Amino acid sequence: MRPCRAPAGRKGLIEKPCGLCDSPGGDLLWRDGFCRVVLIDDPDYPGFCRVVLERHVKEMTDLAPPERTRLMDAVFATEAALREILRPDPDRGALGLALKRRLD
């Protein structure tokens, strides 16, 4: 894994390699040049997806406000699609409660 390029306006490389910069990070479901949505293959968490920015930033607060909005719009669209496809149990909340199911 190679180190990631620093964000625009910063010089050099970020010290630690980033696995999401060097690989898709899962099965690619959607991409638009700004971000991508990938499906993670984890039998304990069906439908687990990541929304990954196409450039490296350390924290979301490093993004300009319009970029944060665009990224969160992708997160919300991903959640809406997952809810429509997976039709989660309303008694368990929307998504992400596989852990609770294993503890029941």
pLDDT, one tens digit per residue, over 36-88 is 999 999 999 989 999 999 998 989 999 999 999 999 999 999 999 999 998 87
Q: What is the pLDDT of residue 94?
A: 53
pTM over 0.85? The answer is no
- Please give the tally of structural domains in the chain: 1
Give the residue, 15 or 47, on which the prediction is more confident. 47
CATH number for 40: 3.30.428.10
| Residue 99 to residue 92: CA distance in whole angstroms | 11
What tokens appear for 84 in the block?
């429509």
Within a domain: residue 77?
yes
Q: How many CA atoms lie within 13 A of 80 on its CB side?
A: 6
Within a domain: residue 17?
no
Q: What is the pLDDT of residue 16?
A: 67
* Cα→Cα distances 5→18, 50, 61, Å: 10, 21, 18
Domain that holds residue 82: 24-89
pLDDT of residue 1 exceeding 50, the answer is no
Helix (H) or strand (E) holding 39, with range, is strand 35-39
